[in-house]
């Protein structure tokens, strides 16, 4: 197998290093604007040199973002090349187009690396779908936010301080919005839910809240409640065939599995009607873990496993978050005109309220109090 590697950043360099140890998969060309000593003979700034090279049968897309990743992916598939990618933002917004095109062209699009890093989560969702009806997904899918929350609650450090350190360590981007506003987790949940329930889930239909506004005062309340805050992405298949799906800070019991997930690790659970709950834990991001997942995708194609694994969802799920209800911790200076018990410092614990209703209420209250913070309370 000869591949064209798009991007030689953190993940791309890891993939190159991993594949350099193999004799059955080789990198023939690298799309990269910045030249790297010793690799000049492989590098090009023109994607057409990869697209028109008949020897390159597989493209590894690690540019990230929406464009030009989307355009390059579509062009590669139309040219009859397999594609392996870790791009959750682009895939979650174009999943139907990409998977349908890959099927029409008789090639493979492997995206295991887009959710969970080195954790074989999507791979096993694909396998499980053939033997059981999957009814629920839940877990920590963003290592950056988990690192921030864990350090704040363990070491008592301020949000801005921990975020700055995460940026210095390479865990958070210079613009951290995708992580701390829950967008990265939203995209991952969209992809995983589509695989689990065999219905496409639009990212914009997922009620999403991040951790940007959490404070030390909130954490004091959590500790008094015997709770730990984690950013949880969850979805469930409802009895009527609709899907509930949300990303939000969640207060979990301090003895729970999620509370024990430290630093930048992930923990993702899947629920099946027959097998119950299986939880996958490990490094959800980073150079080597994600490169490992990309390499597995390449091996699936090389060994002929991919056609048996890749389920193609049909149609779009109807998202219904009104039926899902839970109590919420809310801290706000705005008047909270719903049933709730008052704590100190403008904090409350609400009576059960629908997930969609809570997210809509928070949006309205932020017109008065931009710093409002809320978190679901796990029962």
Q: How far apart are CA 259 and CA 268, in angstroms?
A: 13
Q: Spot the catalytic one: 81, 188, 199, 287.
A: 188
Q: Do residues 233 and 210 touch, judged by C-beta distance below 8 A? A: no
Name the residue among 272, 269, 288 with its Cα closest to residue 280. 269
Is residue 272 exposed (0-12), middle (13-18) or buried (19+ Cβ within 10 Å)? middle
Neighbours of 293 (CB within 10 A): 28
DSSP assignment string, 13-40: HHHHHHHTT-SS-EEEEEE-SS--TT-T
Contact 109, 208 (CB under 8 A): no
Residue with tokens 């950013």: 231
Position of tokens 């609400």? 350
- Catalytic-residue membership of 224: no
Written as six digits, the tokens of 338 are: 């719903």
Helices 143-155 and 159-168: angle between axes, nearest 10 degrees:
130
By annotation, the residues acting in catalysis are 188
């Amino acid at each position: 197998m000869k591949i064209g590697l798009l991007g030689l950043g953190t993940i791309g360099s890891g993939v190159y290093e991993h594949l350099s140890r193999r004799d059955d998969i080789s990198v023939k060309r690298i799309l990269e604007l910045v030249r790297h000593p010793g690799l000049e003979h492989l590098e090009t700034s023109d994607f057409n040199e990869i697209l028109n090279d008949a020897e390159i049968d597989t493209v590894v897309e690690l540019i990230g973002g929406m464009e030009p990743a989307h355009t390059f992916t579509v062009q590669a598939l139309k040219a009859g090349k397999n594609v392996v990618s870790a791009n959750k933002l682009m895939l979650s917004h174009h999943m139907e187009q990409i998977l349908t095109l890959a099927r029409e062209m008789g090639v493979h699009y492997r995206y295991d690396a887009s959710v969970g890093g080195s954790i074989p989560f999507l791979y096993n969702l694909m396998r499980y779908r053939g033997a059981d009806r999957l009814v629920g997904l839940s877990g920590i899918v963003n290592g950056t936010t988990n690192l921030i929350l864990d350090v704040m609650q363990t070491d008592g450090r301020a949000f801005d301080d921990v975020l700055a350190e995460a940026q210095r360590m390479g865990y958070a981007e210079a613009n951290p919005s995708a992580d701390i506003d829950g967008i990265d987790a939203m995209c991952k949940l969209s992809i995983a839910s589509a695989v689990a329930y065999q219905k496409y889930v639009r990212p914009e239909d997922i009620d999403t809240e991040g951790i940007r506004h959490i404070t030390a005062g909130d954490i004091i309340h959590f500790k008094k409640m015997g709770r730990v805050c984690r950013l949880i992405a969850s979805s469930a298949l409802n009895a009527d065939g609709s899907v509930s799906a949300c990303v939000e800070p969640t207060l979990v019991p301090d003895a729970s599995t999620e509370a024990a997930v430290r630093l930048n690790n992930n923990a993702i659970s899947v629920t099946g009607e027959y097998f119950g709950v299986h939880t996958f834990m490990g490094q959800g991001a980073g150079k080597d873990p994600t490169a490992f997942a990309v390499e597995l995708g390449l091996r699936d194609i090389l060994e002929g496993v991919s056609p048996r694994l890749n389920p193609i969802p049909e149609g779009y799920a109807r998202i219904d978050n009104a039926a899902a209800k839970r109590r919420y911790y809310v801290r706000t200076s705005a008047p909270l005109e719903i049933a709730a018990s008052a704590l100190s410092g403008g904090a409350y614990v609400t009576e059960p309220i629908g997930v969609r209703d809570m997210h809509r209420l928070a949006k309205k209250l932020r017109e008065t109090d931009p710093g409002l913070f809320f978190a679901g309370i796990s029962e």
